[in-house]
Amino acid sequence: MNSETATQTPEDETLPSVPEHPFIKEMLRQVRASDTYGFYDNASPAELLKPFVVTKAQRKQLPLVADPDDQVIGRLKNWYAAIAMQIEAGSGRMASPLMNLSSEGFGRVVIIAGHLVVVDRTLREAHRFGFISLEKMCEDADRLVASALALIEAHPAAAEG
């Protein structure tokens, strides 16, 4: 057993690698902003983002029907707030996420810029919210933000509000 193996803990192996991506920086801002008690003040980026990664094996262990807990609802809010902030950064217009979620984990999220709905997502099985990897999370975010920015560009008067 060499010294590198001896110092590595199992927790280190389960932490996701954090890609250099503008969305990751925004996600970290949102997670830290929602930590009103300073519980995660000394947490690394990988520790903060680990709950957003749900592998296929982890997803299989989750029940098909369950009520989302407060941590999952907080992650959903952080995700859509980060999407809204990226839309604001790209368009210069305020974007606001609105989420309606039942206790069973079904609902809807919209992000509005002015009078224009730029994101409209149906939520199902919210208790299973997560991404296969942080790279996949960034890809999904880029796709949503690009679509929203295209809508704002196509309908600037409605996005003005």
CA distance 145 to 132: 19
Asked if the model's pLDDT at residue 13 lies above 70, the reply is no
Q: Bigger pLDDT: 19 or 77? A: 77
Choice between 55 and 87, residue whose per-residue pLDDT is larger: 87
Give the pLDDT band of residue 138 (cuts 50, 70, 90): very high
**φ/ψ (deg, to 5) at 127:** -65, -15
Report the chain's mean pLDDT, rounded to a whole number.
89
Walk me through the domains of the chain, giving residue ranges and CATH numbers: 19-160 (1.10.3100.20)
Dihedrals φ, ψ of 99, to 5°?
Answer: -125, 135
**Rounded-to-integer distance, Cα 159 and Cα 161, Å:** 5
Say what the pTM is.
Answer: 0.87
* Residue 16 confidence (pLDDT): 81
Answer yes or no: is pLDDT of 27 > 80: yes
Instruction: Summarize the confidence of residues 133-138 as an average pLDDT.
Output: 96
Q: Are 71 and 86 in contact (CB under 8 A)?
A: no
Confidence of residue 32 (pLDDT cuts 50, 70, 90): very high
Q: Which of 11-15, 65-69, 113-117, 149-153 has the lowest mean pLDDT?
A: 11-15
What number is the average pLDDT over the span 114-129? Answer: 95
Distance of alpha carbon 58 from alpha carbon 123, whole angstroms: 19
pLDDT tens-digit readout, 90-106 = 999 999 999 999 988 89
How confident is the model at residue 60, as a pLDDT? 87
In this predicted structure, what is the pLDDT of residue 9?
A: 33
